[in-house]
Amino acid sequence: MKDGVPVVYWMFRSAWTVLHLLLVLSAGVLVLWWGIDDGNARRLLGPVMSGLLDVQSAVAGAIPWPWDA
């Protein structure tokens, strides 16, 4: 026992942590690979960035500045 918790728990927790880390790293590699392949990320992020700039412009113009009058 470690801190009143059975060793089996710590073994399970360690194994689950390693498995989870491997799954997250695998997903990250797949997304990176997909993004680099044939410019997929550029095609996806282009319209997203344009939409974000439109939202930024709308929010910035929502409240008039005192010195604009």
Mean pLDDT across 13-26:
96
Amino acid 63 reads: I
pLDDT bracket for residue 64 (50, 70, 90): confident
Which token pair is 31?
Answer: 């997304």
With 70 as the cut, is the pLDDT of residue 69 above it?
no
Q: What pLDDT is recorded for position 14?
A: 95
User: DSSP class of residue 2?
Assistant: B
Give tens-digit pLDDT for 37-55.
888 888 888 899 999 999 9
pLDDT for residue 17: 97
Measured at the CA of 17, the angle between CA 24 and CA 26, to 5 degrees, comes to: 20
Check residue 61 and give its pLDDT: 84
Q: Is 33 in contact with 39 (CB distance < 8 Å)? A: no
pTM of the model: 0.55
